[in-house]
Amino acid sequence: LAEEDWSELLHQPAEVWDDKSTVFAAVSSCGWALQYASEPLRNDKAIALAAVRQNGLALQFASSDLRGDSDLTLAAVAQCGRAFTFCSTKLQRDRGFVLQAAKANGHVLKYVDEELQDSEVMSEAVDQCGSILSSIIGTTFEQS
């Protein structure tokens, strides 16, 4: 049932969200399903990883402990740069993590504190998604 249409699980008894294999199948097909998982399963790294690989923004539904896990959060950021906003404050302020996040997804720069946007972080972001940034810069230069 979870593999075919995870939303059908919403019509099942609440206990279905305690079943690890069912929840894993649901979040693998739609990361947003993590919001319905039981608290213990939202703290399960394998479940949360499956969810954020499908949709990085599912990180917001992971436990606060997991939002501080650099492996999990980098997987989320790689899938969607905006997931950086759901990382723990500690990670958001950690320059090493910010550098890794920029390598994983250059779009993360939109969400990184300006104090941490040094030349190395900027360079990694440009290397990661340079074609998009180049087109923006190219357009800017053509208009000046």
Given this model, what pLDDT does residue 3 score? 57
Given this model, what pLDDT does residue 120 score? 85
Hey, what are 65's tokens? Answer: 């402990």
pLDDT in tens, 56-72: 999 999 999 999 999 99
69-81 as b/e: b if 16+ CB within 10 A: bbebbbbbbbbbb
pTM, 2 dp: 0.84
